[in-house]
Chain A
Amino acid sequence: MSNEIKMATKNMSFYYGDFKALDDITLEFQKNRVSALIGPSGCGKSTFLRALNRMNDIIPSARVEGQVLLDGEDVYGPNVDVVEIRKRVGMVFQKPNPFPKTIFNDVAYGLRIRGIKNRRELEDRVEASLKAAAIWDEVKDRFNKSALSLSGGQQQRLCIARALAVEPEVLLMDEPASALDPIATQKIEELIRELKQRYTIIIVTHNMQQAARVSDVTAFFYIGKLIEVDETEMMFTRPSLKQTEDYITGRFG
């Protein structure tokens, strides 16, 4: 396992207007590992995740202090193209959000907006992404059906395929299985374990078991602060802080 740092935040604070949602977060994400962000609702873990690919930019009052580094470069730097960052840092959302397009066009969207027009290349890359997202067998005969005709679990894997199609380096997942049933959840979790061979994955989850099952590293957030971060095995067996232990064992939150 490489110890290369793919993404990191340094003394990062985040504000919605006057409200400080994240306070001085310093955290590193290693390449090809799955990092889980856990914590009770409103602790700032989703805000943190969306700060990494600058999705919070669309909120007018949002403001970031400190640094968010991708391969050592600040993604909030003055000459950085936010579109470029989002190409390298993909995202899967809490609720499956396929476009109301056909399955093929949905996955090809990210490729097309990059100017890829060659039908052959589009087909190859859509196929590769659908296979990587473990949904190829279920959709290969219905490319021209609406993406909305798929089940929730299938839609979410389609969204993962769509994110993978543009070959990001980092994949952010915001509670990707919270709207799915147990079987679909299991599929997504298997997929996450598979995908870390090629991607650096950061996942927000409310589900302790899920964090324990899929992640290598776990970070515990509470009211905008990073409380503890450690190897997942350590976190779930011998957390160093009482607060972390209480949360993990379900005594609060």
Chain B
Amino acid sequence: MDLGRKRQLVQGMAFFIIRSSAVMICAALAIMLGFILIRGYRAINWTFLTQPPMEAMTKGGIFPAIAGTLYLTLGAFLIAFPLGVASAIYISEYAREGKLVRIIRLGINNLAGVPSVVFGLFGLGLFVVFLGFGSSILSGSLTLAFLILPVIIGASEEALKAVPQTYREASLALGGTKWQTIYKVVLPAALPGILTGSILGIGRAAGETAPIMFTAAAFYTARLPSSIFDEVMALPYHIYVLATAGTHIEETRHLQYGTALVLIGLVLGINLVAIIMRTRMRRKETY
């Protein structure tokens, strides 16, 4: 075979493999979504979305779980967002590259690698037992907050780094202090990126089961929480319960898929909010 044709063939094969990889990823997502959609859409109706479970969870809805997941996610966001953004500002704007920053970075990276069930146990030990918050929205939110901190710090750091150095110089040259420069110029410019990255991180928190299993999730509660010290039902844990712990596992299959569908819809919805927010803020461009 002459060299030219061989090269053509190699290139063709490489392109084929690369293209198939991309297609495969999309296909995996589509199959998963399709599967859950087909199995679950029949369970979705007004009662399902607005009522608590009934008759040993074989009937009724999942409203307390939807509300619980929303509470936990919002709580985790409110805790992790300021903490994460502040850490990122310290690392990228204040700290000079050195031993301390290396240690902090190592810490953050390792935090990101900790299995979520370990976060659950940690939350159980610290928040539920030691601090006495009990199994509650507060304990669950705190635990989830720790889980997504590395994501928020990472996203914020990236967004801060993307702010042109010339903005900082302009502000400093006008007699701005470092804090004024960060607060009035750098942060507003980085905010779209910070928010988008953080909200995408929050989507992950919404779907986690292990961290809330010991810290917040209730097997069953019909009423909605009245304070942050109440236990709540949560969508991922509810799926787990229905699929493994009930006495009617086979009879509730459609409810399991329905719950999964709601959870996926919720996470996609959160991501969609992030994307819309980013586009809008980019378009605005001034503050």
Chain A residues in contact with chain B, CB under 8 A? 53, 55, 58, 60, 83-84, 86-87, 90-91, 93, 95, 97-102, 105, 109-110, 112-114, 146-148, 159, 162-163, 166
Contacts and interface: CB of A to CB of B under 8 A. Distances in A.
B172 to A, nearest CB: 7
Interface in B182-208: 184-185, 189
B172 A86 contact: yes
Interface string B159-182: 000001011111111111100100
B5 interface: no
Interface in B99-140: none
Given A60-B96, A100-B189, A159-B170, A113 B287 contact: no
Contacts of B175: 83-84, 86-87, 110, 113-114, 166
Interface of B: 96, 164, 166-177, 180, 184-185, 189, 285-287
B177 A83 contact: yes
Contact of A163 (B96, B173, B180): B173
Nearest to A112: B184
A91 B167 contact: no
B287 to A, nearest CB: 6
Given A58-B169, A91-B173, A101-B287, 17 more contacts: A53-B173, A55-B173, A83-B175, A84-B175, A86-B172, A95-B166, A97-B166, A97-B170, A99-B185, A99-B189, A105-B287, A109-B174, A113-B177, A146-B285, A147-B286, A163-B173, A163-B174
Contacts of A86: 172-175
Nearest to A146: B286
A93 B172 contact: no
A100 B287 contact: yes
Nearest to B163: A100
Contacts of A95: 166
Of the candidates A87, A100, A166, the one having the most CB atoms from chain B within 10 angstroms of its own CB is A100
B176 A113 contact: yes
Given A93-B166, A95-B166, A113-B184, A100 B286 contact: yes
Contact of B286 (A93, A102, A110): A102
Nearest to B175: A87
B21 to A, nearest CB: 38
Contacts of A55: 169, 172-173
A58 B172 contact: yes
5 tightest Cβ-Cβ pairs between the two chains A and B? A87-B175, A97-B166, A110-B174, A91-B173, A146-B286
Contacts of B184: 109, 112-113
A109 B173 CA distance: 12
Contacts, number: 76
Contacts of A90: 173-174
A86 B285 CA distance: 27
A97 B169 contact: yes
Contacts of A113: 171, 174-177, 180, 184
A162 B166 contact: no
Contacts of B185: 99, 109
Nearest to A162: B174
Contacts of B166: 93, 95, 97
B169 A93 contact: yes
Contacts of A114: 175
21 contacts: A53-B173, A58-B172, A60-B96, A83-B176, A87-B174, A91-B173, A97-B164, A99-B167, A100-B285, A100-B286, A100-B287, A105-B286, A105-B287, A110-B175, A113-B171, A113-B175, A114-B175, A159-B170, A162-B174, A163-B174, A166-B174
A93 B170 CA distance: 8
Contacts of A99: 167, 170-171, 185, 189
A236 to B, nearest CB: 30
A98 B171 CA distance: 10
B109 to A, nearest CB: 24
Given A60-B96, A109-B184, A113-B184, A101 B172 contact: no
